[in-house]
Amino acid sequence: MIAKKIVDCRPVKINIYVGTPLPNALGLAKSIPYGNSFAIIGGTDGSKDLDTAYIYDPAGAGSWRLLPNRLHQGRRQTIALTVKKEIFPACP
């Protein structure tokens, strides 16, 4: 597996490239919807598994923001999903 710094977003119907390069090489990561955008979680840079999560900001030319929270350990090909916070009990 070769990790790359490329984001390739291709709408199914029109096949147009849109994207901003990632801040570093990344492969085998998981993407999940986040608001009007998406997040990329974990993956590998080609030499080690990553514990990072990035949010893509589509405003303007688009940019990536590294989230402060980390996975407990680096993971590639992980599973990630979004859930509504209402399914969890309130914190005391």
pLDDT reported for residue 47:
93
Over its length of 92 residues, how does the chain's per-residue pLDDT go in tens digits?
555 666 655 555 554 445 788 888 888 999 888 888 889 999 999 999 999 999 988 886 788 999 999 999 999 888 888 888 888 888 77
63-66 and 53-57 as β-strands: parallel, antiparallel, unpaired? antiparallel
If 0-12 CB within 10 Å is exposed, 13-18 middle and 19+ buried, where does residue 50 land?
A: buried
Place of tokens 């998406």: 38
pTM of the full structure: 0.71
The residue extents of the domains of the chain are: 1-75
